[in-house]
Structure 1
Amino acid sequence: MAIELKKSYRFAFYSSLILAVVLSLAMVGFMFYKNDLDYIFLAIFLPVVFLISFLIIQIRVEKFIYKRVKRIYDDVSLLETSSFTSRPITTDMKTLTEEIEKFAQDKKIEIDTLKIREEYRKDFLGNVSHELKTPLFTVQGYILTLLDGAMDDANVRKKYLQRASKGVERLIYIVKDLDLITKLETQDSKLELESFNIIELIQSVFDLLEMKAAKKHISLTFDMEYKDPIYVWADKEKIQQVVSNLLVNSIKYGHDKGTTEVSVENLIKNKVIVRVTDNGEGIAKEHIPRLFERFYRVDKSGSRKEGGSGLGLSIVKHIIEAHDEKIYIESVEDVGSEFSFTLEKAENRPE
């Protein structure tokens, strides 16, 4: 550890001055008593005594303070905080006080952050256990029923095995989505960037979800007629997943005979923004900051009326952030929601 002594000479100066004056007065008194007053000697004696006293006091006090301050630094270093232990040791009390206060503030922020993360961890574990135990218990229930004798009935056996198979498929769906998020977080999933027409991609997702939307009489539409293609530079497959997840969510929580509208607008010179707007249930303000967490539920009752892994929005966020882009949400309860995300325009359009 580097050592830097930020010296304050005020204490040593006044202490040395007092000593020099006191000793000089004592010397004057002694000379006066002996009737041998030597002014030249006194003129030399005073500054010499002052200088010697100053050096001794400054060095001693500095070492005294440094030893105790070093103990503070050593004790703090046990907490393994690189931001503090990497700094030089200082004997300047004001600087030291400021460093200790900043260190304490940083530690308080760190502890508060850890508490928040711990709450998130508890919520996540509770949510993931709920998501997994429902299909697990379903599969277990059907299998146990079959083992208890229901397998002897061919019709019951087939029906229960089909239901157990659906439970297993749901488990696989959840695990696959978790694996995808993990890969996106660790950047193990490579993006295959290419130029493609985002309008064409959105239309293809509309076509795929047409029947799902028709069941709730929800209309999937553009905000306007896009006569010219809009080319973006991104991973086509993953952006299709983003659009699909947002539209599926919109259909799930949309009102019967509602509308989901998609628009693509120029944001800045090299960016476009894709907006997915609906007039569905909307989301309460307190839920919005945590909406992209894995398995986070707006409905705290623990029931999930609609299917899905509960990871759709989390996957959307990770895919967009993997592209170094931004995703936004605006929502008003009982009015509707708007999810939007940015994409980079393609520099070279295909012929």
Structure 2
Amino acid sequence: MKFYRLTFLASVFLTAVMLLLVYVFDSAKHSFSETNKQFFQTLIISALILSVINYLVVDFLFNFYGKRQIQKISTILPEEIRDEESNLNFKQLSQKFTDLNLKNTTEIDMMKEMEFYRKEYIGNISHEMKTPLFTIQGYVDTLLEGGVENLAIRDKYLERIDKSVERLLNIVKDLDMINQFESGEIILNKSRFDLNEMIREMIDVLDLEAQKKNTKIVLQTTSNLMFVNADQQKISQVLLNLISNAIYYSNRESATVTIKTKVENHKVLVEVEDNGMGIKAEMLPRIFERFYRIESSRNRSDGGSGLGLAIVKHILEAHGESIAVESVYLEGAKFSFSVAKAI
């Protein structure tokens, strides 16, 4: 058995205290009768004093030897704990391990989530690019096998190849934009401009697309002029994405896309509303994710990059704003956001 000097001294001290109490009682035994209350009171008080002394001594020994053991094993402890104060007790050490375990569990869960996101992200990119690449490959093979000699086939296939290349470029451009937003590299060039004038210009640009879908685009505003302070080019991109989506999904005979603007709390509120197919309730939380499509059966070759709403969300967040969506399935959807009103 290993000898501990401090334990020996503690036992000597406790023995001395007990002997002292025995001596006191022996000296005073003639002063008490067997039924004297004073005797029992003194006995109880002495027992309490002895219990307190025992507790303090034992607690001191446990803490002292506990800290010594912690110091001995400190070389194998994680750095997060080893770098802390060296006078930890076992309770504090246990709490440190609990906190460290919770931190590690959180980090592992985050890594798993990031890995899932990475796989999904790469899968989505490959899926988006596969269609135009295969289209280009098919047309090029046909031309190489002799189709180039037929002028009608050559011109038609070259035109389709050009569209597929343009689609690939749009995907790459949108991906680059989102990556720049997420890394904080985008710098906003804010200026004062008339938002209603921009919307009217946007309606003119999308008029041909709206006619193909037999859709009417209407601007409703509370004021003819609506000046805002924002990045004009990026807000135009927000409107372009929202209005284009509304036109695409306005699959009705009398389809209407209504754009509303009004001033609210020193900001200009913009609403883009359609009476199209709407969005199912379970899809609403995900529509601003990269590559997420409301209509899973939608032909990807007919659509955009699948990044439009994600870009809209990032642009508005860069302006310190957010976008909201309301929808009733098969009745329509409404997207709304605010822009700072110019002074």
TM-score by length of 2: 0.77
Please name the residue that 1:202 is paired with.
Answer: 199
Task: Check 1:105–1:71 CA distance in 2 against 1; reply closer, same or farther (3 A cut).
Answer: farther
C-alpha separation in 2, matches of 1:70 and 1:226? 75
What one-letter code is carried by the residue in structure 2 that aligns with 1:294? Answer: R
What one-letter code is carried by the residue in structure 2 that aligns with 1:338? Answer: K
Which of the numbers 96, 109, 112 marks the counterpart of 2:109? 112
Say whether the 8 Å CA contact 2:222–2:261 is kept in structure 1. no
Deviates more, 1:276-285 or 1:119-128: 119-128
Say whether the 8 Å CA contact 1:252–1:306 is kept in structure 2. no
1:1-351 alignment runs, 5 A limit: 20-26=13-19, 61-66=62-67, 69=70, 77=78, 88=85, 91-224=88-221, 226-227=223-224, 229-256=225-252, 257-268=254-265, 270-301=266-297, 303-304=299-300, 306-347=302-343
Deviates more, 1:134-143 or 1:271-280: 271-280
Gaps of 5+ in 2: 1-5, 26-50
Deviates more, 1:195-204 or 1:61-70: 61-70
Task: Check 1:143–1:187 CA distance in 2 against 1; reply closer, same or farther (3 A cut).
Answer: same
Task: Check 1:231–1:108 CA distance in 2 against 1; reply closer, same or farther (3 A cut).
Answer: same
Cα distance, 1:248 vs structure 2: 0.3
Per-residue deviation, residues 83-119 of structure 1 (Å, max 9, x unmatched): x787656635555544544444444344334333333
Please name the residue that 1:40 is paired with.
Answer: none
Task: Check 1:196–1:90 CA distance in 2 against 1; reply closer, same or farther (3 A cut).
Answer: farther
Task: Check 1:92–1:140 CA distance in 2 against 1; reply closer, same or farther (3 A cut).
Answer: same
Q: CA RMSD in A?
A: 3.8
Say whether the 8 Å CA contact 1:219–1:258 is kept in structure 2. yes
TM-score by length of 1: 0.75
What one-letter code is carried by the residue in structure 1 that aligns with 2:66? Answer: I
Secondary structure at the residue paired with 1:273? Answer: strand
Task: Check 1:131–1:71 CA distance in 2 against 1; reply closer, same or farther (3 A cut).
Answer: farther
C-alpha separation in 2, matches of 1:181 and 1:159? 33
Deviates more, 1:92-101 or 1:331-340: 92-101
Count residues with an aligned counterpart: 313
C-alpha separation in 2, matches of 1:172 and 1:264? 33
Say whether the 8 Å CA contact 1:233–1:345 is kept in structure 2. yes
Please name the residue that 2:33 is paired with.
Answer: none
Please name the residue that 1:45 is paired with.
Answer: none
Gaps of 5+ in 1: 1-11, 33-49
Say whether the 8 Å CA contact 1:281–1:335 is kept in structure 2. yes
Say whether the 8 Å CA contact 1:218–1:254 is kept in structure 2. yes
Please name the residue that 2:31 is paired with.
Answer: none
Task: Check 1:127–1:213 CA distance in 2 against 1; reply closer, same or farther (3 A cut).
Answer: same
What one-letter code is carried by the residue in structure 2 that aligns with 1:114? Answer: M
What one-letter code is carried by the residue in structure 1 that aligns with 2:16? Answer: L
Task: Check 1:293–1:91 CA distance in 2 against 1; reply closer, same or farther (3 A cut).
Answer: same
Task: Check 1:207–1:89 CA distance in 2 against 1; reply closer, same or farther (3 A cut).
Answer: farther
C-alpha separation in 1, matches of 2:233 and 2:261? 18
C-alpha separation in 1, matches of 2:71 and 2:312? 50
Say whether the 8 Å CA contact 1:19–1:53 is kept in structure 2. no
Deviates more, 1:129-138 or 1:118-127: 118-127
Q: Max radius of gyration: which structure?
A: 2
Task: Check 1:306–1:164 CA distance in 2 against 1; reply closer, same or farther (3 A cut).
Answer: closer
Say whether the 8 Å CA contact 2:195–2:226 is kept in structure 1. yes
Deviates more, 1:243-252 or 1:317-326: 317-326
Say whether the 8 Å CA contact 1:250–1:278 is kept in structure 2. yes
C-alpha separation in 2, matches of 1:233 and 1:72? 62
